[in-house]
Chains A and B, each alone.
Chain A
Amino acid sequence: MSRRSGLGPGKSQGEILFRAGIYTLLIVAAIYYLIPLIIMIFTSVKTMNDIRTGTLISFPREFTLDAWKAAWGSACIGVTCNGIKGYFWNSVIMVVPAVLFSTLIGAANGYVFSKWKFWGSEVLFSMLLLGCFIPFQIILLPMAQVLGVIGLAQSMQGLILVHIIYGIAFTTLFFRNFYVTIPQELVHAAKIDGAGFFRIFWKIILPVSVPIFVVSIIWQTTQIWNDFLFGVVFSSGESQPVTVALNNLVNTSTGVKKYNVDMAAAMIAAFPTMIVYIVAGKYFLRGLTAGSVKG
């Protein structure tokens, strides 16, 4: 898993040109990816007057953090004007159990699908994968009916349950593809030694699973944190996640639009996932490298 070394010829002129070319291309690409973020940052530190009278894509004429303060603590969302800070906690309460349970279930499923195959297990796995492709908009009504029947309509528990259910397909895919790369002989040997289903999982499988747990947790956290559709439909007023609050903030029907506050709020809402990507990015890659992408 070390970096490739010694590819290409020695340090010739061609090599230098080649590397310069690669750096140029990478930096051009980086600019393409960064432009929207730069515009968001610029807009968020402008005054509304600057935005209204100037061009939208330009350097700020005067710098102010008022929009950030407003987005965090005083912008009106619905009838309360406390910014988006309160909704943060809602998202955390939703994300933690949803990610945890969908990941644990995915790990257990992946373990069975890779190491304890039985008649029909492959078919079940394919059926589960197809579930990834169902457009979520269409399950809203039947899901609402089911939640109504089991008494979880408009509750945080119901919302968490929905996230777990529709997260399992992907977590199972990740874990199954990872566990496939663990040699079957290890499991066989353990079985001969008399180890059972759970013992093998705890002693052999789990200890090597850290990278894929990281992948699954990052993926699920990003997906669930950024989800809008389930959040808006299955939550109740006071437990709306931050994406719904963000949408409520930026989508005014006939009101005056404050782009600087919108942009600041969007960046605040994305902050936790951004941090996850920056801090855990390395482990993310390591986890992917360790086998999840090996089919």
Chain B
Amino acid sequence: MRLENLLPKIVLAPTFVSTIITIYGFILWTAWISFTKSRMLPRYELEGLVQYVKLFANERWWVASKNLVIFGSLFIGICILIGLLLAIFLDQKIRIEGTLRTVFLYPMALSFIVTGTVWKWILNPSLGLEKLVNDMGFTSFTFDWLVNSEMSIYTIVIAGVWQSSGFVMALFLAGLRGVDDSIIKAAMVDGASLPRIYWKIIIPSLRPVFFSAIMILAHIAIKSFDLVVALTGGGPGYSSDLPATFMYSFAFTRGRLGMGAASSMMMFGAVLAIIVPYLYSELRSKKNE
């Protein structure tokens, strides 16, 4: 009986150890490096807050942070909206559902190293969409977000949504298939309209799906790297830089490892500030159900 009680802990032990080392240990390592003057390779002599002071004085960092807020909220919001709508439509006994589902899902399977090039062509005013519409006779149409410093971050949203919304659709579709039909039938007998049923009954019952979707999308948003590198390279100027690309370029390309570490600590802090309360409330509310 004693062994039996220990077994669950033994099973979790490898995961526990690896989590402590490879996640929290490495975060501590990064924190330590962020207090040093590490340049090309790690140095371990502590130097105080120099790197954070430099980071906060760096205009590019603030552009990247602001971009993450814009990109993150739009990316998560639009993915959920499109994913949910597509799922609801697909759930209306559509004949070619299987084909459409695959079409919506396939972007996840492609490496963005190359699809980025294609998106660059599509969004480029003189090659892609703008030219196409102009050639059709609507000469006043402009779509120059890719080359416009004010708008370039939104092109990252467009490509990001293209890549990830299909997966969110699959999550929601699965959720919809799990909703108990009898509740809906009962509501219809009461004379409720279809949109009303969705708004009042079905969508609220998908709360756990929203949780999964938000967790997955948030993790994609924070790690978004290939998207920026392949699509805009952070430009024009550094108008579409994100913290992940900022950190990589300072830590590795520019030989300013200390500052790169400081920026990733800031990123991690932001994640904690947003995710922990959400996680807490979600896990809490489940217990109360």
Same complex for A and B? Answer yes
Q: How far is the CA of A133 from the CA of B283 in the complex (A)?
A: 18
- Distance in angstroms from A65 CB to nearest chain B CB is 18
List B contacts of A278 (CB < 8 A). 102
B154 within 8 A of A: no
Q: How far is the CA of A198 from the CA of B224 in the complex (A)?
A: 40
List B contacts of A247 (CB < 8 A). 113
Contact string against B for A residues 114-154, beta-carbon threshold 8 Å, 1 for contact and 0 otherwise: 00101001101011111111111111011100100000000
- Distance in angstroms from B174 CB to nearest chain A CB is 3
B94 within 8 A of A: yes
How many A-B residue pairs have C-beta atoms within 8 angstroms? Tell me. 261
Chain A residue at smallest Cβ distance from B179: A4
11 interchain pairs, CB-CB under 8 A:
A6-B185, A7-B184, A7-B188, A25-B89, A26-B100, A37-B106, A39-B121, A57-B122, A126-B279, A142-B26, A250-B117
Among A72-80, A92-100, A164-172, the stretch in contact with B: A164-172
In addition to A116-B8, A288-B175, 4 A-B residue pairs with Cβ atoms within 8 Å of each other are: A1-B177, A130-B23, A141-B42, A285-B170
B275 within 8 A of A: yes
Known: A30-B104, A243-B113, A277-B108. A132 touches B219 (CB 8 A): yes
B268 within 8 A of A: yes
B207 within 8 A of A: yes
Q: How far is the CA of A222 from the CA of B166 in the complex (A)?
A: 14
- Residue of B4, B11, B111, B175 near A196 (CB, 8 A) is B4
List A contacts of B181 (CB < 8 A). 2, 4-5
By the criterion CB–CB under 8 Å, are A131 and B118 in contact?
A: no
List A contacts of B103 (CB < 8 A). 30, 33-34
Q: How far is the CA of A136 from the CA of B245 in the complex (A)?
A: 12
By the criterion CB–CB under 8 Å, are A57 and B127 in contact?
A: yes
Known: A247-B113, A281-B101, A295-B212. A289 touches B122 (CB 8 A): no
Q: How far is the CA of A218 from the CA of B194 in the complex (A)?
A: 34
By the criterion CB–CB under 8 Å, are A22 and B22 in contact?
A: no
By the criterion CB–CB under 8 Å, are A40 and B104 in contact?
A: no
What are the 9 closest A-B residue pairs judged by CB atoms, nearest first?
A295-B208, A288-B174, A266-B114, A273-B109, A116-B8, A131-B23, A289-B174, A197-B7, A138-B264
By the criterion CB–CB under 8 Å, are A5 and B93 in contact?
A: yes
List B contacts of A111 (CB < 8 A). 11
Known: A1-B177, A39-B121. A172 touches B15 (CB 8 A): yes
List A contacts of B12 (CB < 8 A). 109, 112-113, 121, 124
Residues of B within 8 A of A (CB): 4, 7-9, 11-12, 14-16, 18-19, 21-27, 29-30, 42, 82, 85-86, 89-94, 98, 100-111, 113-115, 117-119, 121-122, 127-128, 131-132, 162, 166, 170-171, 173-178, 181, 184-185, 188, 194, 207-209, 211-212, 215, 218-219, 222-223, 225-226, 243-244, 247-248, 251-252, 257, 260-261, 264, 267-268, 271-272, 275-276, 279, 282-283, 286
Known: A57-B132, A197-B8. A294 touches B194 (CB 8 A): no
By the criterion CB–CB under 8 Å, are A263 and B225 in contact?
A: no
By the criterion CB–CB under 8 Å, are B122 and A22 in contact?
A: no
List B contacts of A129 (CB < 8 A). 215, 279
Known: A293-B209, A294-B208. A3 touches B14 (CB 8 A): no
A274 within 8 A of B: yes
Residues of A within 8 A of B (CB): 1-8, 19, 22-23, 25-26, 29-30, 32-37, 39-40, 43, 55-57, 105, 108-109, 111-113, 116, 118, 121-122, 124, 126-139, 141-143, 146, 165-166, 168, 172-173, 177, 196-198, 222, 226, 228-229, 243, 246-247, 250-251, 259, 262-263, 265-266, 269-270, 273-274, 276-278, 281-282, 284-285, 288-289, 291-295
Most buried by B among A1, A33, A250, A284: A33
Q: How far is the CA of A172 from the CA of B118 in the complex (A)?
A: 35
Chain A residue at smallest Cβ distance from B120: A56
Q: How far is the CA of A8 from the CA of B279 in the complex (A)?
A: 37
By the criterion CB–CB under 8 Å, are B106 and A7 in contact?
A: no
- Residue of B14, B29, B174, B222 near A105 (CB, 8 A) is B14
- Distance in angstroms from A36 CB to nearest chain B CB is 5
Chain A residue at smallest Cβ distance from B34: A138
- Distance in angstroms from B150 CB to nearest chain A CB is 24
- Distance in angstroms from A37 CB to nearest chain B CB is 7
By the criterion CB–CB under 8 Å, are B113 and A126 in contact?
A: no
List B contacts of A284 (CB < 8 A). 170
List B contacts of A7 (CB < 8 A). 92, 184, 188, 194
- Residue of A109, A135, A281, A293 near B102 (CB, 8 A) is A281
By the criterion CB–CB under 8 Å, are A137 and B9 in contact?
A: no
List A contacts of B226 (CB < 8 A). 228
